[in-house]
């Protein structure tokens, strides 16, 4: 059965909304962002402070960490940082620039998140420096790939629990993924 636009425009076949309409969905959560927020059951988005607070991660029972800002010029934690916390680590060396191509990481990151959630009592922290752009982009891609959400549905689902703001380049890459998955 064809999908209609999640934003309520038109009827019939689903069409990826323009970036301008998607931007309006990003900041719907009241209040301010904290260092870490659960955006879906078992999926947390956070910043570099949350990623480095192993006591808090233990208190939240985080079993997996996906660092969307991996590398020595970003948030250089790596798997050895989490060894004593018994946390499985995956790093994506991404830069928060509209010209950076995040698409090569969509499926590997989505698989890592799915694997984390498939683990008994699995919980995953997806983080970058501020928890706004790179991390949210990878969580949105996961929701689109593995939970069959449209981009607009994924944005609404995440933004109701955390302020997110994929940069313009990442938003366009997510729009292209949306078109591939839903046309």
Give one DSSP letter per residue of 13-29, joined into a string: S--PPPHHHHHHHTT-S
Pick the catalytic residue from 117, 128, 159, 171.
128
Give one DSSP letter per residue of 76-122, joined into a string: ---GGGGGGGT-EEEE-----STTS--GGGHHHHHHHHHHHHHSTT-
Give the separation between CA 84 and CA 183, rounded to whole angstroms: 45
165 is catalytic: no
Go through the chain and tell me how many residues it has: 183
Find the angle CA(122)-CA(127)-CA(133) to the nearest 5 degrees: 130
Q: Which residue has the tokens 């719907």?
A: 28
Active-site positions read 128
């Amino acid at each position: 059965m064809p999908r209609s636009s999640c934003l309520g425009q038109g009827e019939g076949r689903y069409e990826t909304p323009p970036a301008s309409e998607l931007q309006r969905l990003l900041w719907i959560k009241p209040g301010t962002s904290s260092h870490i927020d659960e955006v879906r059951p078992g999926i947390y988005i956070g910043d570099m402070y949350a990623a480095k607070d192993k006591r808090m991660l233990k208190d939240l029972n985080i079993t997996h960490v996906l660092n969307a800002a991996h590398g020595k010029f970003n948030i250089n934690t790596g798997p050895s940082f989490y060894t004593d916390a018994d946390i499985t680590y995956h790093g994506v060396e991404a830069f928060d620039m509209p010209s950076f191509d995040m698409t090569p990481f969509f499926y590997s990151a989505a698989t890592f998140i799915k694997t984390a959630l498939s683990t008994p009592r699995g919980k995953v922290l997806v983080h970058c420096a501020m928890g706004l752009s790179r991390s949210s982009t990878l969580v949105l891609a996961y929701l689109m790939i593995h939970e069959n959400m449209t981009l607009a549905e994924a944005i609404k689902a995440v933004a109701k629990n955390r302020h997110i703001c994929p940069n313009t380049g990442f938003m366009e890459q997510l729009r292209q993924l949306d078109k591939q998955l839903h046309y």
